A and B are shown apart, each in its own frame.
Chain A
Amino acid sequence: MYKFLLANRYLRTRYIALASIISVTLGVATMIVVNSVMSGFSSQMKDRIHAILSDVMIETTSTDGTDDPRELMAKVEQLAGEYIEAMTPTVEIYGMISFDWAGQTVYRPITLIGIDPQGKNQVSPFASHMLSRNEIIEDGEVVRAPLRSMDEPLDWELTEEAKNVRKEWVEWEQFKEQYDHQYGETSSPQTPIAQDSGIQQAVAIESTDFPVLNDPFQTVSGTEQSETETNPAVPPAMPEFNDPFANQKPVKKHDPTAPLFGRVYLGAGLVSFPYKDKATGKTHVMYMVKPGQDVNLTTIKSGKPEPANFKATVTDIFKSGMSEYDSNLVYCNLEQLQLARGMLFSPDPAEPEKNLDWKNGAVTSLQIKLKNYNDAGEVVRQLRSGLEPGTYQVRTWEEKQGPLLEAVAMESAILNVLLFLIITVAGFGILAIFYMIVVEKTRDIGILKALGASSRGVMVIFISYGLALGVVGSSVGVILGLLFVRYINEIEKLLSLMTGRKVFDEAIYYFREIPTVVHPTTVIWVALGSIIIAVLASVMPARRAASLHPVQALRYE
């Protein structure tokens, strides 16, 4: 009893020891904050990666893909159907995008992915990253409300805003054309005529087997055709592409502002950049291409090392938050990409856009969503053993992003080790102060021994004192840390206000707020670890106290 009473009294009367525990408190608080923010970032990053990558991916080794996706899907269903919730075929190929911006043509290397939007949205929650479904926030203010609800199915339809953009854009393009025609060479280096001639040649050589969707500007150049017949936004009339019935068909009068058959979702990083408005000092995001405009895409044909070009209308822009994806990925309608690469075999040449079905073409990968991700290892094992080796690669999304995830885990581990070293240093502080307290309490120890306290009892006093200090220090640390995590965004705002510059710039991190995830187990381990350090630090002084000779201790002045 006297042990706990004295430990308790020492705790309440020796403020110097509480000072020594402050370092433990701060260490614990820092560890909790750092761990929470890091796992917040890490889980956000995983979410973002997972929004782009599905649970399991089957990819053909060749970029030409497999000719019969239905057979592949049936086989996958047979091998691991019980674990699979949804799967969707895709064509994944490197390519290049180009678009006009400020009088120049901008080229960017990309990864072009042909998808079925609803299928894709089933295997990874992709729709929520579309710009049209999110509000646009600049400098903490909502500058535009969402244009579409999150629950709307993902498709290739343009929003009203995109349609308006398209209308203006088509008018501008037509005006440019007329201007170019009237005044000869334009200021724009990309003249439709020069561009067309090259593409037309390429198409002319390779357009025998299947229809190739083409740029409206390629077919409509100059002013031979009247305004009503000008059809800049719709795939070309088929006669140019050996349509046997072309001559019998009446020439359709198309709306020039109708979008093209090819549609794409662009990564935000490909077509946007932040800039600072000098007048207001605010940061805005400039989009070089807006939904509704057309872009040129170039990739390679299937089976031959030759370029494939097509134009597509931008349907939406996505921002997953992973710059690696946002500045690299372009999602295209699967049929268009198959068509452009010569992977699609149209059953009805009469109206190719309407009857196109990816099932009649080749695909390069299958994206699979599992009912329970814990089964991923088993599914991968079964698929690997069931599919022809060398032809297919089967990987989970974590395996595909392995190095990145490992790097994050490593970073977090090193930080934890360093922070724990700080707490250990604090432990030595406790040790020193405990030694002082034992010296100060030498006579009391003598008294206790004279009254019959055993050496063990005296030792227990100081170890329980260390334990009490550790518990108090780490509890306060846990509370401080959790409060800091809870109000981290408010603290960030306060700091920004005080320093006059943004501490956490959402434009850089793609986060509106600092993400935090508190793992209770981590908190418990941190608290336990520091309590153990405090106890260990008190063992040596406690042993010294226990070994004091009562007579010498009583004589100590």
Chain B
Amino acid sequence: MSQPSTIPMTDPIHRPVHLCAKALDKAYQKGEHKIPVLRGVDVKIERAEFLSIVGQSGSGKSTLMHLLGLLDDPDVGEVWLDGNRIDNLPATTRDKLRNHVFGFVFQFYHLLPELTLLENVLTPLMIRYPAWEYWKRRSEFREMAKEITKQVGLDHRLKHKPSELSGGEMQRAAIARALIGDPSVLLADEPTGNLDSQSGGEIMNLLHKLNEEAKLTIIMVTHDDNIAQQAQRIVRLSEGRIQALNEAA
């Protein structure tokens, strides 16, 4: 589901970049002061690229990821997806895009504590389909979820609640959840930030595998240079500006 039907292609001849940000400005209001977070950020991401955004805390890397994933609106600037501007779409359309196009992975996993692992993984599909349609196709979806959890190595933990899983397992469950909706872009915010090095390594391997085998575009935010080095390309942010764009080693 790389191309939602609501967004027509406008430029069929010239192949556009997959996702791009143009001159993004974002400031947060804190009391009376406006604190600028992003100042004119331009970034282009090609299809099936593995990009990491690095920077110190407060450099605006998470904000950039949120703007790219339509979780937040830029003050100035535009976000384009496959040649279509998407940041100014109505809220419900953006909700749909988040569900169809983007998959999110967070530092603190952000699984819903009331649901089992399987139900957590199925949540994007429950959101996507109306209740009756979901109910009709529930066994099909269940199979999909089992397949994906198998890929991330969690098929023996389906009935467990998040509180019964280890950090690495929770992060793999979060990745499975991000993948089930068949997104074209995976946005990962410090996916290894809360894990020991072994679990972190497993997660990175998984991301690499997805990027190479499933041709998934991955944008990873991290403050850890060692992790960032594993991406194809690194964008370094400092005080809201892009400092350097360089190919990973």
Q: Point out residues on A near B: beta carbons under 8 Å.
A: 1-6, 9-10, 13, 443-444, 446-455, 457, 549-551, 554
Contacts and interface: CB of A to CB of B under 8 A. Distances in A.
Contacts of B130: 1
A443 B162 CA distance: 15
B249 interface: no
Contacts of A4: 131
7 contacts: A6-B112, A9-B115, A448-B112, A451-B104, A453-B95, A550-B72, A554-B71
Contact of A554 (B98, B110, B112): B110
A481 B71 CA distance: 49
B124 A5 contact: no
A452 B128 contact: yes
A192 B106 CA distance: 110
Contacts of A549: 72
B63 to A, nearest CB: 8
A18 to B, nearest CB: 15
B130 to A, nearest CB: 8
A453 B127 contact: yes
Given A6-B114, A9-B114, A452 B131 contact: no
B98 A451 contact: yes
Do most interface residues of chain A lie in helix, strand or loop, or is the interface mixed? helix
Contacts of A450: 69, 71, 98, 104, 110
A451 B99 contact: yes
B110 A443 contact: yes
Interface in B41-74: 66, 69, 71-72
A452 B96 contact: yes
Given A1-B126, A1-B129, A554-B106, A454 B114 contact: no
B244 interface: no
A332 to B, nearest CB: 75
Contact of A1 (B72, B111, B135, B181): B135
Contacts of A448: 112, 123, 127
Nearest to A3: B131
Given A451-B98, A452-B99, A551-B66, 11 more contacts: A5-B126, A13-B114, A446-B110, A448-B112, A448-B127, A450-B104, A451-B127, A452-B100, A452-B124, A550-B72, A554-B110
A449 B112 CA distance: 12
Nearest to A6: B114
A12 to B, nearest CB: 8
Given A1-B129, A551-B71, A451 B124 contact: yes
Interface string B105-134: 010001111110001000110111111001
Nearest to A2: B126
A2 B123 contact: yes
Contacts of B71: 449-450, 550-551, 554
The 5 closest A-B pairs by CB, nearest first: A452-B99, A9-B114, A2-B126, A1-B126, A1-B134
Contacts of A13: 114
Contacts of B13: none
A452 B114 contact: no
A443 B114 CA distance: 13
B60 to A, nearest CB: 13
Contacts of A454: 91-92, 95
Nearest to A9: B114
B119 A5 contact: yes
Contacts of B177: 451
A468 to B, nearest CB: 14
A397 to B, nearest CB: 56
Contacts of B115: 5-6, 9
Contact of B123 (A446, A451, A550, A554): A451
Contacts of A455: 91
A4 to B, nearest CB: 7
B112 A444 contact: yes
A457 B110 contact: no
Contacts of B131: 1, 3-4
B197 to A, nearest CB: 25
A451 B130 CA distance: 15
Contact of A447 (B99, B112, B129): B112
A13 B104 CA distance: 27
A452 B66 contact: no
Interface string B68-98: 0101100000000000000000011001111
Nearest to A455: B91
A444 B127 CA distance: 14
Nearest to B129: A1
B137 to A, nearest CB: 11
Contacts of A449: 71, 95, 98
Contacts of A9: 114-115
Nearest to A557: B108
Contacts of B100: 452
A508 B108 CA distance: 70
Nearest to A446: B110
Nearest to A456: B92
B164 to A, nearest CB: 15
Contacts of A554: 71, 106, 110
Contacts of A457: 127
Contacts of B127: 2, 448, 451-453, 457
A450 B115 CA distance: 17
A13 B95 CA distance: 28
A450 B123 CA distance: 11
